Chain A
Amino acid sequence: MTEAFNEHFGALRDHLPGQNLSWLTALRQRGLDRFAKNGLPTPRMEAWKYTSLRPIEKVDFAAEGVPRACISIDRAPSLLPEATESHRLVFVDGHFRSDLSRLGELPEGARITTLGEQMVDDPDWLHGHLDHLEAPLVQPMLALNTAMMMNGFVLRLARGTVLPHPIEVIHLGGAGDAPLAYHPRNLVVLEEGSQATLIEHCSHLGEQPYLSNSMTEISVADGATLRHYKLQADALNAFHLATVKAEVGRDATYDSFCMTTGARLSRNEVSVRLSGQGADCHLNGAYLVRGEQHCDNTTVVDHLVPNTTCREVFKGVVDDKARAVFQGKLKVHRDAQHTNGHQLSKVLLLSDRAEINAKPELEIYADDVVCSHGATAGDLDHDALFYLRARGIPEAAARSMLIEAFLGESVDQIAAEGLCPALMASIGHWLAGSRGDY
């Protein structure tokens, strides 16, 4: 497979954006070298202990330099209610579709573009921000993304800019007539005191399997706030590998929520560096998987300076033969006193063949801290179920109610207007699709 990606690189070389920028070419080459050295991750690597990428190797993915003939859709599958004002970007098979996007009016100091445009408009700025965040883990997929990076979105907010409406980025896959692999690279830079809400929705159009290996770099400067919510509802034959690296400055907030219902195999890897005093991070998620799905949530939070806080809650429901993985690492560096870090992983196993592997990890080098983590796994509470059944509620409905309530608790944390109902609806949709006879 490593070979195949090398071939992709060879084939795409002339089509990748930013050909004229020598620093970018060098950056791509470094990524390619790093990837070639490590190859695809294997379960022998500690960070990939529970997730094997073998299924990917069984599909013969192609790479595509230029977008195929336009597929037209009536309406982009937005998560927000019709009337909500938002800035919308749509990507189909990794390529930006301006015809489906609707940027709307932006306040002064705000810029939403694509990586390709940014390479033309302001390459120097890009040079100063791309690939500048440190990675705590060995990340071969990130190296591959760096080598092959394609058009993603770029969000820039100047000092003090507040975006009143959310930005919605919709990724649609599977539209082509052959299995495709693509590597979107996104960049979010919020300068001092700015605020934005970013909503990502991953969905699918056609029948073809696809592999999306995305990378999002986020920097939230002093006093800025980014709310970043994502629903990954990719096709059940798709592969979704997403890496997010965020750096959070003094008194800044990064609020993240990721819900997973789609993809044959998915990995959502988020690493956050809290590098300014008073930095705050919420890292939440929910997942519902069934069939033979494999869902991996891996997070690393680095508390680098004193007085930072982090709250992390991941809740999941695993049915059939699906497997879920939660790896959460909370690292308090030397001298990062007064850190407040809490992490929780809760999982419901609904079938006899469902599986959960959890590794909540604390690594602490400062003494004046309050850190905790918790992890639970098990079936629905039999007492609660009995309570509902005793009141004449059929078992299937009672189970659905309990699951909805279980996940609803974490969805309620989301601060974006209009998004919660859409997420609850997708939970309801998932529950309706289950066999109901557990």
Chain B
Amino acid sequence: MAATVETVEQVRGIEKYKYGFVTDIETETAPKGLSEDIVRFISAKKNEPEWLLEWRLKAYRHWLTMPEPEWAKVQFPPIDYQDSYYYSAPKSPEDRPKSLDEVDPKLLETYEKLGIPLTEQKMLAGVAVDAVFDSVSVATTFKKNLEEVGVIFCSISEAVQNHPELVKKYLGSVVPYGDNKHACLNSAVFTDGSFVYIPKGVRCPMELSTYFRINAENTGQFERTLIIADEGSYVSYLEGCTAPMRDENQLHAAVVELITLDDAEIKYSTVQNWYPGDENGNGGIYNFVTKRGACRGRNSKISWTQVETGSAITWKYPSCILQGDNSVGEFYSIAITNNHQQADTGTKMIHLGKNTRSRIIAKGISAGQSDSTYRGLVRISAKAEGARNFTQCDSLLIGDRCGAHTVPYIESKNRNAILEHEATTSRISEDQLFYCRQRGISEEDAVALVVNGFCREVMQQLPMEFAVEAQKLVGISLEGSVG
């Protein structure tokens, strides 16, 4: 009898992981629109402590007073915040496509090209799958391994329940709720995201990925990720995946906060391939993300690597605040835009500590009628003795209807700091294309090859798992840009 109860518990446990929250919520969806009641509703659903509700409400009230940020080089009609759902239950199996036959063939074609296994295809397309699913067991094993070394890796909602002291200490400490309008909205209504804590001196035994967190398939519209690397620890975190993601929520406002203490290192890699809209620029995701890391400790390091190919609009500036002496910040980015996509992305490197170093490598590729902007800030404070920055931004243009822009801000208040910035813009080389074509490589493949060469420096920074798929993704993203 006892065994039966245990099994039931376990099954419930799995169910819970699968959707990220308890099952009985499925029947409830908050009404459209945003108000204090909705914020309270979300908080209540998550069974959150009082302080978090207060924080959400403070954020919400502040959000009401904030103007829309208009400085980015992107254009879109004003967002009707009252026309969205801020809390909806996960789709029940009945609503999902029954099999891959019901999924958009175009989507399947892309999966095929990326070489994604069939079961994963089903998961990505949101097909209702059997209760027993490979990745569940894989993920459980992963979890066990992590627990052994003391790594905490769970959804932020779980972390609020199980590790409130850590969440309370660090949440909003890097991106305060009033930072910008989108981050503020996220603070008020965030519903999911990851929480990672690496204890002192631990080198995380595997690459952590949202993909392997069981509730990954339900990554929310307002994700909130918090990663803390305690003294002397290391973690590599992968976000997103190369496969195209469909989502009916147009507005995505995520916040990611990273904290490294003495001698710790976080490597954060992102591949973003949200739905970019169709060839005529209809639809597509608005991806407004605030990502920031604080190198609080001495000799700590934060490295951002991103491959941005999706979304109709990308508004994203993963940044590093280099507070600890000798800390290092890195930013490697590839932003590919095609058709009518708009990307305004870059980084901020704020040097506060002595001998802090930062390195920025940004590659922008624009095709079709898209616009891609690098916008970055390097600030050396008066106390950042011996700080060093190197920035390189290269843009590649494919076609004569697209745009590539570079807007760097360079501020130095220390004479012992050395800053270097260089940027170039050019078109894809005819000679290189001709050379490839001459050897029988089709024009589209040739473009993919040349572009991959152009981004090699950044590709090399990606973890193996991503790198191979990312290369293919480059080719796919640029389909239809030539000929």
Contact = CB atoms under 8 A, between A and B. Distances in A.
B339 to A, nearest CB: 16
A205 to B, nearest CB: 35
B404 A355 contact: no
Nearest to A46: B71
B412 to A, nearest CB: 5
A360 interface: yes
Nearest to A348: B415
Nearest to B367: A367
Give chain B's interface secondary structure class: strand
A367 B419 contact: no
Contacts of B426: 369-371
Contact of A364 (B404, B417, B418, B422): B404
A420 to B, nearest CB: 28
B423 A368 contact: no
Contacts of B71: 46
B422 A373 contact: yes
Nearest to A332: B425
Contacts of B163: none
A377 B404 contact: no
A341 B419 CA distance: 22
Contact of A359 (B409, B417, B427): B409
B415 A360 contact: no
Nearest to B419: A377
B352 to A, nearest CB: 16
Interface residues of A, number: 36
B424 A355 contact: no
Contact of B403 (A356, A357, A364): A364
B398 interface: yes
A379 B416 contact: yes
Given A367-B398, A368-B427, A369-B425, A378 B419 contact: yes
A300 B340 CA distance: 27
Scoring A359, A371, A378 by chain B CB atoms within 10 A of each residue's CB, the highest score goes to A378
A366 interface: yes
A402 interface: no
B61 interface: no
Given A337-B400, A367-B402, A357 B382 contact: no
Given A349-B412, A377-B419, A371 B407 contact: no
Interface string A367-404: 11111111111110000000000000000000000000
Given A367-B400, A368-B427, A374 B405 contact: no
Contacts of B406: 360-362, 373
A111 interface: no
A312 B408 CA distance: 17
A7 interface: no
A353 interface: yes
Nearest to A366: B400
A363 interface: yes
Given A351-B415, A367-B427, A358 B403 contact: no
B199 interface: no
Nearest to B380: A377
B395 interface: yes
Given A356-B411, A357-B410, A376 B403 contact: no
Interface in B360-397: 382, 395, 397
Interface in A327-343: 334-335, 337
Contacts of A337: 400
B421 A360 contact: yes
Contacts of B400: 334-335, 337, 366-368
A291 to B, nearest CB: 16
A367 B364 CA distance: 13
Contacts of B398: 367
Given A46-B71, A377-B412, 19 more contacts: A353-B382, A355-B411, A357-B412, A358-B409, A360-B406, A361-B408, A365-B402, A365-B403, A369-B426, A370-B424, A370-B425, A372-B424, A374-B420, A376-B420, A376-B421, A377-B410, A377-B418, A378-B417, A379-B416
22 contacts: A46-B71, A353-B413, A354-B413, A355-B412, A355-B413, A357-B410, A357-B411, A358-B410, A360-B421, A362-B405, A362-B406, A364-B397, A367-B397, A369-B427, A371-B424, A373-B406, A374-B421, A374-B422, A375-B410, A377-B412, A378-B418, A378-B419
Interface of B: 71, 382, 395, 397-427
Interface of A: 46, 334-335, 337, 347, 349-379
